[in-house]
Amino acid sequence: MVEGKIEATLQDVTSHIRLRQKSAFAVQHLMAAARFSRMCGNIEITNAGIPLGNFFDEQIACVSATVMLATASLESNLNEYFSEIETNFPELSKNLREYAFELLEKKSILEKYQYALLFKGKAKFPIGEQTYKDASALVRLRNALVHFKPEWHDKQKEHKKLERQLIGKFSINPFIGENGVFFPQQCMSYGCTQWAVTSALRFMEKFSELSGLPFKFGKFLDRINPEFENKA
């Protein structure tokens, strides 16, 4: 009996696995906004009862940062939905999906949200609803800070328009009180920062309800809380 020897050669098979990753910042922006809000609260509590001082500069920084980051969260949130356009907007044709983001690029933040609802086959956000009006006021405050145009305090025009949109929405700066103008002095307050964070969060939550798109902030609510815990 002759035994035959069979040799099998297995060539090495090399597999290349490519991992792709995208960063999302809507949640990060709002968590950062809440952190600056708490810092502003700390400043107000720590300096309670003393005359206006250099700490007001810190408050201005905290308020400005909170407002800008809360508004950035609004815009990032929508951009993240559109970055997964095939998943989030299957209602759109392939051609429209390719050009949808380009078509909206020059629209305002809230206009983009309205179009997103239309793309989902939903009714537009009621502009008379408080959630929408607060988000609109937040964006306007952000714009006024970013594109700040000085006005004489006794002859305010655009600043007065902003005041009419914001007055009564939050408590004013206790160190300025009634001695200053609303914008850009009285509104540099902890109350303004709380309102900014809450307004952005509520708007995005309501949009999620209206559109059926996922709400990304739920498991981060403890870190998005703008409330300062007074341990004094």
Distance (Å, rounded) from C-alpha 198 to C-alpha 207?
14
Domain spans in the chain, listed from the N-terminal domain onward: 26-220
Q: Where do we find the tokens 């929508």? A: 78
Distance (Å, rounded) from C-alpha 186 to C-alpha 144?
15
Name which residue leads in pLDDT, 9 or 165: 165
Q: Please give the share of the chain, as a percent, with pLDDT higher than 90.
A: 79
Mean confidence (pLDDT) of the chain: 90
Instruction: Characterize 127-145 residue by residue with b for buried, 16 or more Cβ atoms within 10 angstroms of its Cβ, and e for exposed.
Output: eeeebbbbbbbbbebbebb
CB 227 within 8 A of CB 215: no
Answer yes or no: pTM beyond 0.85: yes
At residue 15, the pLDDT reads: 59
Check whether 232 has a pLDDT greater than 50.
no
- Of the candidates 204, 95, 87, 93, which has an alpha carbon nearest to the alpha carbon of residue 139? 204
Check whether 217 has a pLDDT greater than 50.
yes
Confidence of residue 230 (pLDDT cuts 50, 70, 90): low
Distance (Å, rounded) from C-alpha 169 to C-alpha 149?
23
Tell me the residue type at 199: S
The region of weakest confidence among 18-27, 53-62, 83-92, 128-137 is 18-27
At residue 103, the pLDDT reads: 85
Tell me the residue type at 183: F
| Tokens, residue 39 | 């810092």
